[in-house]
Amino acid sequence: MNINKKQIKFISAVTGLAVLTAATSFAALPEQAAAKWLNSTRTMSEVEGQLLQTGSATALFDEAVDSRIPLQTQEGKMLQIPIKQGVVDDKPAVVLKDTAIQAGIIKTIIVSSPNKVDVGPGVAYLDYAKVIKWQQNVDAGYERWRLDPLQVAHKEGKNYGFTDKDTFTIVKRLAQSELSRHGEIHVKVTHNGKDYTMILVKPFGGGDAIWTTYKVVGQYRPAPPAQTTGKTLFSTDKYADWSWHKERYLKDMAFATVVDYNSQLNQDKRIPENVLSKVKDIDYNKKVVLFAYLGTAPSGGYGVGIEKVVMNGNKMTVTVHTKSPRAGSAVTLAITQPSDYVVLDKTIFDIWGGVDITFVDQNGKVLSKNKLTISHR
């Protein structure tokens, strides 16, 4: 038997991950393919071992350095078989298991690569041949946009008829779900006046694992933002064109209702003094300050602005608008600390039982809640 005419089948132990099953002879492995080597012991019949020895095994791998793999027969005899482990991409992303050599056919080739992504149980109906290739490209430093869910939605959304003129907004994040144990994100897309939802999944685990589209459903009907009725105390449209393009907000983001500058500075360390000093000279006997701090940004291009304050009974909703730079956009490299504030009359908060204050972003996501009660002494 001349085993260089046999097929190699890559069969994953992962559910739903049957990839690269097309006929691929040893000789057909591309010269540029990465060659990984593994010394291991496998149990096989002596007949199967003899099949491997039949013919010129070393000739199967022209220009390749042989690796002697000891194969233990069922009778306890050791056979030294030269064999090459071939990987059809420069940077394999998955770890396959359970090599079985039967009748001279290698059914599964172990692809071991340290610090690579962890293959989950598999997201049903994904084309894993493509998904693995995309992950390998990212590992090699290409197509890094696949790590950003919003960029993935923009680019892959074109396959569903969406355009760059549409609005893309992340409305739900799940660290794991029944659909994908490594993560699921819902992106609302407003197209021609209608809302749709792109469901993105992480097919693999790990910090540099890609996102891809699972499906698109429509129309999306979001829950109404917190407190949209009532009396408008403040409003501006100068932040209307802002968009947030990052996966999450900055970790030291903070909001405050300031009734006394010194007390705020001494008792609440979330907002740095150099940032809070903007409201140092306010007359707090008559005024209250609503303060929004985006956090410590790694570059320019970030911003936060208070665009609306609405009062309804004893409930106040402060809507802030955020922005972040798109990937690849030109920004200053200096660290920034964006913030904004609105000054209101103190009498507004002089309500029996106090005022419940909620800060939300432009998508209605609750960012902070607090209660202010004016004390009369």
Whether residues 244 and 361 share a domain: the answer is yes
Helix boundaries (H) for the chain: 46-53, 128-139, 149-156, 261-267, 273-276
Q: Among the three residues 218, 244, 267, which one is the final residue of a domain in this structure?
A: 218
- In this structure, the answer to whether residues 293 and 236 fall within a common structural domain is yes
> Residues 184, 369, 221, CA angle at the centre, nearest 5°?
40
Please state, for a pLDDT cut of 70, what percent of the chain lies above it.
64
Beta bridge partners of 191: 194
pTM of the complete model: 0.44
Match 């071939």 to its residue by tokens. Answer: 86
All residues at 6 or more sequence positions from 287 whose CB lies less than 8 Å from its CB, including other chains: 343, 344, 345, 346
Domain total of the chain: 3
Q: Is residue 359 part of a domain?
A: yes
Residue 94 lies in a domain: yes
- Are the C-beta atoms of residues 42 and 101 closer than 8 Å to each other? yes
| Residue-wise pLDDT tens digits, 124-155 | 678 888 889 999 999 999 999 999 999 999 99
Tell whether the torsion through CA atoms of 154, 160, 164 and 166 is positive or negative: negative
Q: Are residues 159 and 278 in the same domain?
A: no
Report the mean per-residue pLDDT for the chain.
73
For 44, residues 6+ apart whose C-beta sits below 8 A from its C-beta are 71, 72, 73, 74, 101
- Domain termination site, one of 186, 218, 250: 218
Give yes or no: residues 155 and 244 share one domain. no
**Same domain flag for 150 and 214:** yes
- The answer as to whether 129 is a domain residue is no
Whether residues 206 and 311 share a domain: the answer is no
Whether 49 is covered by a domain: the verdict is: yes
Residues 345 and 274 in one domain: yes
Alpha helices (H) along 159-306: 261-267, 273-276
| 260 and 362 fall within a common domain | yes
* Domain ranges, residue 361: 231-372
* Cβ-contact 167, 189 below 8 angstroms: yes
Is 133 within the bounds of a domain? no
Question: Where does a domain end: 166, 192, 218?
Answer: 218
Q: Is residue 134 part of a domain?
A: no
Residue 145's CATH number: 3.10.450
**In this structure, are 305 and 341 located in the same domain?**
yes
The answer, yes or no, to whether residue 178 has pLDDT greater than 50, is yes
241: number of CA atoms within 13 Å, CB side?
2
> Distance of CA 23 to CAs 6, 87, 233, 355, Å?
8, 14, 70, 70
135 contacts 117 by C-beta, under 8 angstroms:
yes
Identify whether residues 247 and 190 lie together within a single domain. Answer: no
Q: Does a structural domain hold residue 29?
A: yes
Angle, CA of 28, 32 and 36, to the nearest 5°: 90
Q: What is the pLDDT of residues 63-115, one digit of tens each?
A: 333 333 444 444 444 434 343 333 333 333 333 333 333 333 333 333 333 44
Residues 26 and 61 in one domain: yes
Residue pLDDT, tens place only, 181-221: 889 999 999 988 888 999 999 988 887 899 999 988 875 54
Q: Using one digit for the tens of pLDDT, what is the confidence trace for 261-320?
A: 999 999 999 999 999 999 999 999 999 999 999 999 999 999 999 999 999 999 999 999
Residue corresponding to tokens 């907004």: 169
Q: Are residues 179 and 238 in the same domain?
A: no
Contact 184, 177 (CB under 8 A): yes
